[in-house]
């Protein structure tokens, strides 16, 4: 699989590290914080089709990327810096 880094261009998958879904962190001060953290970590959807993921370009420019990948075909549909 090849991922297009917005800064470095198209690179091999071996240069990147997968870091999961961009899940918002629950409020640790909430009264039901343990339940919310449990749900955020363990109770996630397993979509079939286009899905947004976080990747880190560890052996390149060291940028965080939002990668849209089709989970059925592993085709990369788009990439962008995570801050945008």
Other CB atoms within 10 A of residue 71 CB: 13
The pTM (predicted TM-score) of the whole model is 0.79
Mean pLDDT within 56-79 = 96
Residue 46 is part of a domain; what is its CATH number? 3.30.2270.10
**CA 56 to CA 6: how far, in whole Å?**
12
- Containing domain of residue 59, as a range? 2-25+32-81
**CA 4 to CA 17: how far, in whole Å?**
14
Residues 43-61: pLDDT tens digits? Answer: 887 889 999 999 999 999 9
pLDDT at 3 over 80: yes
Q: Which two tokens stand for residue 37?
A: 């953290």
DSSP line for 49-72: SEEEEEEE-TTTT--EEEEEEETT
Residues 29-38: pLDDT tens digits? Answer: 999 999 999 9
pLDDT at 41 over 90: no
Domain count, the chain: 1
């Amino acid at each position: 699989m090849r991922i297009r880094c917005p800064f470095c261009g198209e690179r091999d998958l071996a240069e990147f590290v997968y870091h999961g879904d961009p899940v918002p962190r629950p409020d640790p001060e909430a009264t039901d914080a343990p339940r919310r953290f449990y749900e955020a970590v363990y109770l996630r959807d397993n979509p079939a089709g286009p899905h947004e993921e976080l990747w880190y370009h560890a052996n390149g420019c060291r940028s965080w990327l939002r990668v849209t990948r089709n989970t059925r075909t592993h085709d990369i549909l788009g990439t962008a810096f995570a801050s945008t």
